Amino acid sequence: MLSNIGFPGLILIFLLALIVFGPKKLPQIGRAVGTSLREFKDATKGITDEIQE
């Protein structure tokens, strides 16, 4: 589903986020999303390691 967005769609999403959240809040939101994804990745890796053992 996300592979169908394309480059113009990504630019549109970025511009909408910039308008809605503003340039000062956008880096904080990006950092929070990145941290959440990293924690999710670590948790799933821990679960798969336990299953393999």
24-41: per-residue pLDDT in tens?
898 898 899 999 999 999
Report the distance separating Cα 16 and Cα 21, nearest Å: 8
pLDDT at 15 over 70: yes
Report the distance separating Cα 40 and Cα 12, nearest Å: 27
* 0.85 exceeded by pTM: no
Q: Identify which of 38, 35, 16 has the alpha carbon closest to the alpha carbon of residue 26.
A: 16
* Residue-level pLDDT at 31: 93
Find the farthest-apart pair of alpha carbons in the chain and give their distance in angstroms, rounded: 48
**Residue 13 gets which letter from DSSP?**
H
* Residue-level pLDDT at 2: 56
* Confidence grade of residue 3 (pLDDT, cut at 50, 70, 90): low
Q: The tokens of 32 are what?
A: 């929070």
